[in-house]
Amino acid sequence: MFSSRRQPNSSFQASQTHSRRMGSRGFVHRLTRRLWAHRAGSTRKFGSLILLPVFIAGPVIGMATAAYAASSPVVDAVIPNHGTAAGGDNVLIKGSGFTGATAVAFGSTTLPPCPATVACFHVNGDRGIDASSPPGTAGAAVDVRVTVGAVTSAINTYDKFTYDPQGPPVVSGVSPRSGPATGGTGGQILGSGFTGATGVAFGSATLPPCGTQPCFTVSGDTFIGANSPAGSGGTVDVTVTVGATTSATGNADKFTYTSRSGALQAPPKSPAPRSPAAQSAPSSPGPRHPATQPHTAPVLGAVAPSAMTQGTQSLGTDPQARSKSAIASAGGRGTAWSVDEWIRFFLALLMR
């Protein structure tokens, strides 16, 4: 008969046996798998949280950048705010929104970007532009405007540039200050109001604009280059004429003609010859110190002047007396004889 006792399940028994055999290693394996599954789920959630601000901020930043780039350029200052009617003055334009500027205008005159052979402009970042002023009408004030793409800066109080009224020419300096009377000295005339100069004069000698030599060239409102004409010598005034107006004369415009030229200079004169009377007249030197007196060697058969005077008075023509007188005279000079003098002296005694 079959027993009513339930038989154990063989698969369950096998699992229990495997678990007992695995021990703590089975527990660690199951725990590790659960942790990795949990981490993978957290990473996916965390990555979604990171990407969400990027998707939101991207379009916002793009719209802000487009709005900033499309902002109109603004001119805040023009430095300096005036210049000559001839143009060519360096001007700094300060403001904002200048990046990518395509044109700068002084009134109705538009400047191209540099480099150019005429007046032009150069962008120095978003807040500065360097420009060269174009010619304009003396006394007129114009607005300096900047164009970026299709947008041009609005007119305001601070974008004004005034062309200085034309004053009379003034010469405030000449360099160099002198030159030869033959002319041809290259010089510089400094001052103001030289734009449109029609004539330059050195005294009464006038120069035409260059084309012939000598001549002058106007280089802006404050500078003229010129070659001096021939002159008759002396100091003259250098004057500049613009239309019917000629610069006033003064100390600043002086130019001196000198005698030097390209020819050789005359040699210096030699001293005038002395007259025969002046040549024969003895000079009277001052007293000399005994130590500087020259040594005079005795001459054979000759005696000192004092001995000669004594001989004529009392010694007569006695040779021995003359020798003794010579010795006394030489000894009375207070100066010792040299070896050569003594030798000549004894030779003279032996020959007598």
User: Residue 87 pLDDT more than 70?
Assistant: yes
User: Residue 198 pLDDT more than 80?
Assistant: yes
Q: CA separation (Å) from 69 to 64, 99, 100, 128, 148?
A: 9, 9, 10, 16, 10
User: Residue 26 pLDDT more than 70?
Assistant: no
User: Residue 335 pLDDT more than 60?
Assistant: no
Please give the structure tokens belonging to residue 282.
């003895």
pTM above 0.75, yes or no: no
Number of independent structural domains in the chain = 4
Q: Is 79 in the same domain as 63?
A: no
Highest mean pLDDT among 92-106, 218-232, 303-317: 92-106
Q: Is 179 in the same domain as 143?
A: no
Q: Is 187 in the same domain as 156?
A: no
Q: Is 209 in the same domain as 254?
A: yes
Range of 206's domain? 170-258
In a domain, 229, yes or no: yes
In a domain, 264, yes or no: no
In a domain, 270, yes or no: no
What are the E-state strand segments in 108-227?
A: 109-111, 121-123, 128-132, 141-148, 151-152, 160-163, 170-175, 178-180, 186-192, 197-202, 205-207, 216-218, 223-227
In a domain, 349, yes or no: yes
pLDDT tens-digit readout, 140-149: 999 999 999 9
User: Residue 322 pLDDT more than 60?
Assistant: no
From 235, 258, 281, the end of a domain falls on 258
Identify whether the C-beta of residue 298 lies closer than 8 Å to the C-beta of residue 330. Answer: yes
pLDDT at 166: 79
pLDDT at 93: 97
Q: What is the CATH number of the domain that holds 84?
A: 2.60.40.10
What average pLDDT does this structure show over 97-118?
92
Please give the structure tokens belonging to residue 25.
């290693």
In a domain, 25, yes or no: yes
Q: Is 116 in the same domain as 39?
A: no
From 209, 226, 258, the end of a domain falls on 258
From 113, 139, 163, the end of a domain falls on 163
Q: Is 179 in the same domain as 214?
A: yes
In a domain, 288, yes or no: no
Q: Is the dihedral of CA 78, 82, 86, 90 positive or negative?
A: negative
pLDDT tens-digit readout, 265-286: 333 444 444 544 444 444 445 4
Q: Is 102 in the same domain as 63?
A: no
pLDDT tens-digit readout, 199-231: 999 999 999 999 888 899 998 888 999 999 999
Helix H or strand E segment including 236: strand 234-242
Q: Is 43 in the same domain as 79?
A: no
Question: Which residues, including other chains, have CB under 8 Å from residue 225's CB and lie 6 or more apart?
Answer: 186, 187, 188, 189, 216, 217, 219
Question: Cβ atoms within 10 A of the Cβ of 73, count?
Answer: 24
Q: Is 176 in the same domain as 140?
A: no
Half-sphere exposure at residue 288, Cβ-oriented, CA atoms within 13 angstroms: 7
Of 97, 219, 101, 81, the C-alpha closest to 149 is 101
pLDDT at 138: 86
pLDDT at 149: 93
What average pLDDT does this structure show over 129-139?
92
